[in-house]
Structure 1
Amino acid sequence: METVTTTLRLPTSLKAAIDRSAAANRRSVNSEIVVMLEAATAAEPNQLPASAGGVPAAEHRLRA
């Protein structure tokens, strides 16, 4: 699997929740984020979650 490195700005409370989830699942924070994003995108492969504005994924990639 090819990977890329990126920087995220997260609210402190969200980072803390990810840290707790990663510890509970015995994963690194990076692995936990990957698992969460894979689960979110698998549910609706052509649509981002509503919290991301509901923009179709392909259109979102073009904006990035």
Structure 2
Amino acid sequence: MLRHLYAKAKLTKALNHGDVEVRWVAIPPNWKPLNDAFFDQATMRNLSDEGKRVGADTNSWMTTAP
């Protein structure tokens, strides 16, 4: 999915429709779900909170494609 986003940004710039800067974050590999259940409300909330925490830290933003 990120590959498509970077391609779209490159195309946008090539067509002189603007300069797009792609920034993304990822959940840290050390994050562990609370249990093994799929779509467990507590786990989903915990994952959402972790995403907000990581996204709020501008030092965690990545700008190059993986």
Same fold (TM over 0.5): no
Structure number, greater radius of gyration: 2
What is the TM-score normalised by the length of structure 2?
0.33
Give the structure with the larger helix fraction: 1
What is the TM-score normalised by the length of structure 1?
0.33
Answer 1 or 2: higher relative contact order, Cα 8 Å, separation at least 6.
2
